[in-house]
Chain A
Amino acid sequence: MTENRRKFLKKSAGVIAGAGVVSGFISKYATGFADAATEKAVTKKKIRWGMVIDMRKCVSGCEKCIDACHLTHNVPDFDNPKDEIKWIWKSDYHKVFPSKSQQFVAAETREKPFLTLCNHCENPPCVKACPTGATFKQSDGIVEMDFHRCIGCRFCMAACPYGSRSFNWRNPRPAIKNITPDYPTREHGVVEKCNFCSERLAKGQQPSCVEACPEKVLTFGNLYDKNSEIRQVLKDNPTIQRKPELGTNPSVFYIT
């Protein structure tokens, strides 16, 4: 409930804040107080949202999850790598797992485009780096962005070991094909990334990528709940995480 309230405050403040200094001020205090209150309440709940990506089921060429996510979150489509904004995307196996043994990997794994997104690390380096607290870890494990507090220093982008963060080098609004009014659009000069659909979770929905996948590649759930589906999947299958040696403890797991 408090989590909902917090989201509501954040979102309403976000809507009010055109970018005005005064509204920014209000949003900051609103989230500031709510944060402290929810912190206590939710530690008892013990939620840590996580995801398992079963790459055996993922179909090359299908981009339904990406389209759904980018539509939901008003992610612009620039069509050139310099300005590109990515929340969830496909990359080569050896790029997603650069520090894994890559000798003699099965061809179907090696050649398959791997899904990748923000790992929502348990120990996120980006959150430590941010000088204004614009990116922060929620008590449910989600690494969130406050687009209105980001000063665009891009320290988080240097800190992220997974290349999961995108910067708005130019005004993104003209490049959004269909604007979804439920979610704010961004301005130039701020960083953005996947938020595990925390706005949908607040309404009891699954993340839009999970919902959009026809092959059931993505399993989403609470990693701290022993009886959850995601824990069952993790128990039944050998999984890997990206760059585990860095001690970031990603909440996204892969079955290859």
Chain B
Amino acid sequence: MEFIRFCFDGVKEIFRGGKLYWSWMGVLAVVALFGASAYLQQLQQGLVVTGMSDQVSWGIYIASFTSLVGIAAAAIMLIIPAYIFHDMDIKEIVIPAEGLAIAACVMSMMFVLIDLGRPDRMWHLLPYIGRFNFPKSMLAWDVLVLNVYLFLTMIISVYLLFSKYKGKEPKFSIYFPLVILSIFSALSIHTVTAFLFSSNVARSFWHTGLLAPRFIASAFSAGPAFFLLTALVMRYTKVFPVKEIAIKRLTTIITIALEINLFLLLAEVFTEFYHQTEHSASAAYLFFGLGGKTALVPWIWSSVFLNISALVIFVLPLKKNTIFLALACLFLVVGVWIEKGMGLVVPGFIPTPLGEVYEYTPTFIEVQISMGVWAIGLMLYTILAKISIAVNLERIRLT
């Protein structure tokens, strides 16, 4: 009964808000509708409306999926200090961060769904009814761990929020085992997503043991950066008084992860280029172009530039300035999104196993659909963050 009232109050909170809130949600809804109409077109005509081909058979959808899994996994960089080390300052903002994880998880699943040629046959992935190729297929693993992680994160956040709503301390014996499980499943979603690529012997660009550690490192910098960005917005709009100390903690986490990520990237680049073999062809195409084709060159160098600029701001006292800090976070999020998307998924296919260079550029429809997914994800995140803040500030509670 109390739980029903909690849900009811939560839903009521969604419809409460100022002009800024409604215009934000309104814009997102319009973008989402545009995306939905483009998706209908894709459903009718098939994936021919995309820029993908037999040669480059994954594009911006799988690229976005890959980086969003990272954002989803990164919530544990707040969960660990909050629940393992009982850092009270991080604890205050951990539930909005879990909201981000939920939204990112949902978005990444949507990106996989829109990438399918036959979404109507999704049920083939269900065990017993379909023939789920588990444990052989890495994609089967990914479906499993993503669902487990989403489920765990939802349970934990609902439990913590509900406790706060009732004005009770959450029970350690209930949430702690769940938190431990969710830490492992967060690591596993990004590891398995990396294995999705590194397990392919056909694509030497992906076939490296460094891929999973790189995925984790980049996620643990870009994920908290994305969250820090939204935390700065929350503070600026006076929605939630995020403490300076929490921001400092996040900055430290981001900086360390960013440094590790760039080190791993450097090691990879060295190995590819010191003695260029035919297996370095994709890296050569990515960074310098191949056979006069250079579509990805501007992407990767922008990513390098964005990542390094972010690092410079993070290691200098410049980061104390909110504008610079926000800028660094934005650079990092976009930089990593490119590095893991257009800079990882797409060049894996170029050149093809037959040595041909076919390029890929997303079509307008692909961009439209992707933006639609982002809009839905951001709406979801806004709603989840709004409810959790309202509970945290005791604006809604059991009376």
B23 beta carbon closer than 8 Å to chain A = no
CA distance A149 to B132 in the complex (A): 11
A122 beta carbon closer than 8 Å to chain B = no
A149–B136 CB distance below 8 A = no
| CB contact between A163 and one of B54, B116, B120 (< 8 Å): that residue | B54
Taking A81-B358, A152-B118, A157-B57 as contacts, is the C-beta distance between A128 and B47 under 8 angstroms? no
B47–A169 CB distance below 8 A = yes
CA distance A191 to B354 in the complex (A): 19
A81–B121 CB distance below 8 A = no
25 contacts between A and B (CB under 8 A): A84-B54, A98-B355, A125-B200, A129-B139, A130-B133, A130-B137, A131-B140, A133-B131, A151-B118, A152-B116, A153-B116, A158-B57, A158-B58, A158-B197, A158-B349, A159-B200, A168-B46, A168-B117, A169-B46, A169-B47, A169-B48, A169-B50, A169-B52, A189-B47, A243-B353
Interface of B is mostly: loop
Going nearest first, the 10 A-B pairs with the smallest beta carbon separation are A152-B117, A189-B117, A188-B46, A161-B202, A170-B48, A131-B139, A95-B354, A133-B131, A169-B48, A132-B124
Taking A157-B57, A158-B57, A168-B46 as contacts, is the C-beta distance between A151 and B117 under 8 angstroms? yes
Total number of residue pairs linking A and B with CB closer than 8 Å: 156
- A107-137 CB contacts (< 8 Å) to partner B: 125, 127-134
A129–B138 CB distance below 8 A = yes
B208 shortest CB reach to chain A, Å? 15
B278 beta carbon closer than 8 Å to chain A = yes
- A178-204 CB contacts (< 8 Å) to partner B: 188-191
B133–A131 CB distance below 8 A = yes
B214 beta carbon closer than 8 Å to chain A = no
B164 shortest CB reach to chain A, Å? 39
Chain A residues, Cβ within 8 Å of B139:
129, 131, 153, 155
B contact residues vs A (CB 8 Å cutoff): 45-48, 50, 52-55, 57-58, 112, 115-125, 129-133, 136-140, 143, 196-197, 199-203, 278, 348-349, 352-356, 358
| Nearest-neighbor residue (CB-CB) of B203 within chain A | A158
B140–A165 CB distance below 8 A = no
Chain B residues, Cβ within 8 Å of A161:
201-202, 353
A154–B48 CB distance below 8 A = no
Chain A residues, Cβ within 8 Å of B130:
28, 132, 149
Chain B residues, Cβ within 8 Å of A28:
124, 130-131
Chain B residues, Cβ within 8 Å of A42:
none
| Nearest-neighbor residue (CB-CB) of A155 within chain B | B139
B341 shortest CB reach to chain A, Å? 15
Number of A interface residues at 8 Å Cβ cutoff, please give it: 55
- A64-110 CB contacts (< 8 Å) to partner B: 81-84, 86, 91, 94-96, 98-99
CA distance A168 to B54 in the complex (A): 9
| CB contact between B47 and one of A25, A152, A157, A166 (< 8 Å): that residue | A152
Interface of A is mostly: loop
B117–A170 CB distance below 8 A = no
B319 shortest CB reach to chain A, Å? 39
A163 shortest CB reach to chain B, Å? 5
| Nearest-neighbor residue (CB-CB) of A243 within chain B | B353
CA distance A27 to B278 in the complex (A): 44
20 additional A-B residue pairs with CB within 8 Å, beyond A94-B355, A132-B132:
A21-B120, A91-B354, A96-B354, A131-B143, A132-B121, A132-B131, A151-B116, A151-B125, A153-B115, A155-B138, A158-B197, A158-B348, A163-B55, A166-B54, A167-B54, A169-B53, A170-B46, A188-B46, A190-B117, A243-B353
A95–B356 CB distance below 8 A = yes
Chain B residues, Cβ within 8 Å of A81:
53, 55, 358
A189–B202 CB distance below 8 A = no
| Nearest-neighbor residue (CB-CB) of B119 within chain A | A151
B130 shortest CB reach to chain A, Å? 6
| CB contact between B53 and one of A82, A160, A162, A165 (< 8 Å): that residue | A82
| Nearest-neighbor residue (CB-CB) of B129 within chain A | A25
Chain A residues, Cβ within 8 Å of B125:
131-132, 151
